[in-house]
Structures are given as structure tokens and as C-alpha cells.
């Protein structure tokens, strides 16, 4: 019985650890990702002879990135909001199905979300 509890604790710890690592890796690139979603036609293939274009692109990117704080905040807050809404439902489902099924489905969901393009 104690061995089963230890295995469950390790699996839960690793799942939460991987979720936090994924969030830590994703958060720094969110501003650039949002910039390229909104400005797909801007190219960074610029030669040294086109210095004015480099300055214009840098200014445009800094202006757009300065206005994205709200979007980034909404994106990160949506994760917490979904967790607040879903966690009570998962708690009831866990009592009904058991921990193993929920942990397996959560891990598969995290794997699919990570590998999906």
C-alpha cells in the first residue's frame, strides 16, 4: 500500500514538474510568437545595405511588443482560470474512476499538446 502511494506521488510530482517546465520554456517566447502572428509579412532577411529597414522593423516590433502585455496577461490568466473551473470536476471524476485513469489521461493529454504542431 505504501509503495503504491509513493508511485502515485512520484507520478504527480513529475506531471506537475513537466507542466511547469513547459510553461517556463513557453513564456519567454510568447511576445515574439504573438508579434509574428500579427505581422506575418515582415521578413528578417535583410542585408547590411538596407540599414533603414532594419531600424523600421525594430521600431515596429518594439511598438507592437509594448502593446502586447494585455494579450500575454490574458493568455497566462486563461490557464489559471481553466484550472480553477476544471479542477473540481476532475476531483469528482477522480473519486469515481480512480487516480490511475485520470493520471494516465492527463499525461496523454500533455503529451499530445506538446507534440501537436
pLDDT for the residue 19: 78
Domain chopping of the chain, boundaries: 2-115
What pLDDT, in 10s, does the model give residues 13-53? 888 888 788 778 877 887 777 777 777 777 665 555 555 55
Of residues 53 and 72, more confidence is placed in 72
**Residue 72 pLDDT > 60:** yes
CA dist list (Å): 64 to 29, 34, 60: 14, 9, 6
pLDDT for the residue 32: 77
Q: Tell me the three state secondary structure of residue 42.
A: coil
Amino acid at each position: 500500500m505504501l509503495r503504491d502511494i509513493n508511485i502515485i506521488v512520484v507520478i504527480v510530482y513529475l506531471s506537475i514538474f513537466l507542466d511547469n517546465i513547459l510553461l517556463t520554456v513557453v513564456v519567454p517566447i510568447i511576445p515574439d510568437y504573438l508579434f509574428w502572428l500579427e505581422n506575418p509579412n515582415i521578413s528578417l532577411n535583410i542585408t547590411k545595405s538596407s540599414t533603414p529597414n532594419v531600424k523600421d522593423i525594430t521600431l515596429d516590433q518594439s511598438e507592437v511588443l509594448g502593446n502586447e502585455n494585455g494579450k500575454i496577461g490574458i493568455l497566462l490568466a486563461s490557464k489559471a482560470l481553466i484550472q480553477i473551473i476544471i479542477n473540481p470536476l476532475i476531483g469528482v471524476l477522480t473519486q469515481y474512476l480512480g487516480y490511475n485513469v485520470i493520471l494516465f489521461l492527463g499525461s496523454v493529454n500533455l503529451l499530445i499538446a506538446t507534440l501537436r504542431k
